[in-house]
Structure 1
Amino acid sequence: MTDTAWTNELRNFVDLKPRQSLAADAANNLREFILLGKLAPGMPVRERDLAEAFGISRTPLKEALRILETEGLIVYGPTRRPRVADPSLDEINDWLRVQGALEALAGELACANATDAQIKQIEQINTAIKEARDTQGQLEAFRMDMRFHEAIVAASGNAALAETHATYNARLWRVRFLSSQRKASRDATRNEHKDIVAALKARDTAAARAALTNHLRTAEVNIAAAVREMENTKEAK
């Protein structure tokens, strides 16, 4: 893709998005481009082209890059030039294990602290995942999947847990999106979600912890498989 075509694609994408603050809006667009692979792992971030595509100056763009740096999505080399992070599978697995512990704790706390309305909402979001996949596509289904997990964390009532979870969630979004594209894992994921919802509705703390722990272990296996498949595809080209 030429530089002009790449910039035009970014501009067209941004024109479809609702505006927030300049930096937050740019950070959201960049995050989604990384998620979709439009900005590939290890790719240099061309600040001038991005600022032009977003219709902003480089000051809010730099602020957006700093936001993504704190999320582990952007890294800076010795020359302070930004590029898209390219974590190893070992790093990803480390993050997943922390995320698993956080979500297991969130499940326990949600059993004790969640309102009936919050648990009903979690169940409704889970139902909406398949509906989104059938009617709106994989990206929207993935967003709903992430909302399912975020709703469980929110129902824990623990702000510190929610803040930490959001940080790891941002780092793992891209690989979890890749994992969600694997048809082979979808039935298992749906069944695990049903187990999580059932445990929350029963307010069974042990079952909720076990179901969420198992779910993140499955994610670890699926992500490793997705990364291998992606690497095999690159080698075949």
Structure 2
Amino acid sequence: MSLKDLLDDDISAERPMSLAEQSADKLRQLILLEKLPPGLALNERDLSDLLGISRTPVRDAIRLLETEGLVDYSETRRPRVANPSLETLSHWLSVQGALEGLAGELACQHASDAELARIVQLQDEMVGCVDSDDAMKRFELDMSFHSSIVAAAHNPPLSETHRQYNTRLWRARFISSQLQTNRERQTRKHKAIVDALLARDAKVASQALIAHLKNAIVNIEVAMSQRAREAI
């Protein structure tokens, strides 16, 4: 499942992606992989040359990424790769933790056996590639795992709000997911979440998801501190 699929999981798969959406998907991955680093000014002409398309879909792609919080604007209104502060990320993750905690509680009540089986499958796939060098695959599986739990809650407003916050946090959560120690800890935490969901223990599932997101704040701080030291 691609990052675009995670955004549009409630839209018919038969709808073809527009050129702007395809461009946004490519730029989104470049931002997550930091080939377009935080704070970088986004020049439409350079990006159109990079993607081999005209400037109009590039402009539309930048607008799409702005709605996701991956792009913002300088004081002179020039688009750039967003670089939110750790404090801002912490605020967003606190909200996201509350949303996922509620999702876990509701999923225990409303998830079908097939939906729970899909969550277990995603967990198994994550375990299988924990040592993989494919950072994007690991990240997409992680995001699919969490999005599948939210979908299993069967609460459309919750799903929409979660999607909005998740896109804002993609880069930060991607950075966190790359820590080797975090991958091992993440595997244990995901198993605890799965066990609670399978037992349909709403309280434990909710607590496990909230704790998981709280731990993400610490991981992001560690990862960003490491990167700051390496840049010196």
TM-score (norm 1): 0.88
Answer whether contact 2:177 2:183 (CA < 8 A) is retained.
yes
For 1:108 and 1:70, the matched residues in 2 are separated by: 28
Q: Deviations over 1:149-203 (max 9, x none)?
A: 0100111111111111111111111111111111122222111101100111111
Which of 94, 98, 105 is the aligned partner of 2:95?
Answer: 98
Q: Which of 3, 19, 25 lines up with 1:28 in the alignment?
A: 25
Task: Report the secondary structure of 1:83's partner residue.
Answer: strand
CA shift, 1:136, in A, is 6.0
* Pair 1:62 & 2:59 matched: yes
Q: Tell me, yes or no, if structure 1 residue 43 matches structure 2 residue 37.
A: no
How much does 1:134 deviate? 4.2
Listed as ranges, the gaps of 5+ residues in structure 1 are 1-18
d(CA) in 2 for partners of 1:185 and 1:128? Answer: 17
**Letter matched to residue 218 of structure 2:** V
2:20–2:61 contact (8 Å) kept in structure 1: yes
Letter in 1 for 2:159: A
Question: Using the alignment, how far apart are the partners of 1:219 and 1:190 within structure 2?
Answer: 13
Residue 55 of structure 1: how far off its partner (Å) = 2.2
* Cα separation, 2, equivalents of 1:80 and 1:161: 32
User: What is the correspondence of 1:51-200 to structure 2 with a 5 Å cutoff?
Assistant: 51-134=48-131, 137-200=134-197
* Structure 1 position 216, deviation (Å): 0.6
RCO higher in 1 or 2 (8 Å CA, sep ≥ 6)?
2
CA–CA distance in structure 2, aligned partners of residues 149 and 79 of structure 1: 37
Residues 31 and 222 (structure 1 numbering): CA distance in 2 closer, same or farther, change over 3 Å?
A: same
**Deviation per residue, 1:127-147 (Å, 9 max, x gap):** 101223445622211110111
The structure with more helix, counted as a fraction of residues: 1
Where 2:80 maps in the other structure, the secondary structure is: strand
- Separation in 2, partners of 1:110, 1:33: 33
**1:191-235 Cα deviation digits (max 9, x unpaired):** 110110011111111011110011111111111100110111111
Q: Which residue in the other structure is 1:7 paired with?
A: none
CA RMSD of aligned residues (A): 1.3
Aligned-partner SS, 2:17: coil
Letter in 1 for 2:194: V
Given the superposition, is the C-alpha separation of residues 68 and 182 from structure 1 closer, same or farther in structure 2, using an over 3 Å criterion? same
Q: CA deviation at 1:118?
A: 0.1
Question: Which ranges of structure 2 fall in alignment gaps of 5 or more residues?
Answer: 1-15
C-alpha distance after superposition, 1:103-122 (max 9, x if no partner): 00110111111101000100
- Decide which structure has the larger Cα Rg and report it: 1
Tell me which residue corresponds to 1:3: none
**One-letter code aligned to 1:105:** L
For 1:127 and 1:36, how far apart are their aligned partners in 2? 24
Q: Does 1:202 align with 2:195?
A: no
Q: Deviations over 1:61-112 (max 9, x none)?
A: 1111111111111111232210011110000101110110110011011111
Give the conservation status (yes or no) of the 8 Å contact 1:133–1:140. Answer: no
Query: Equivalent residue for 2:231?
Result: 234
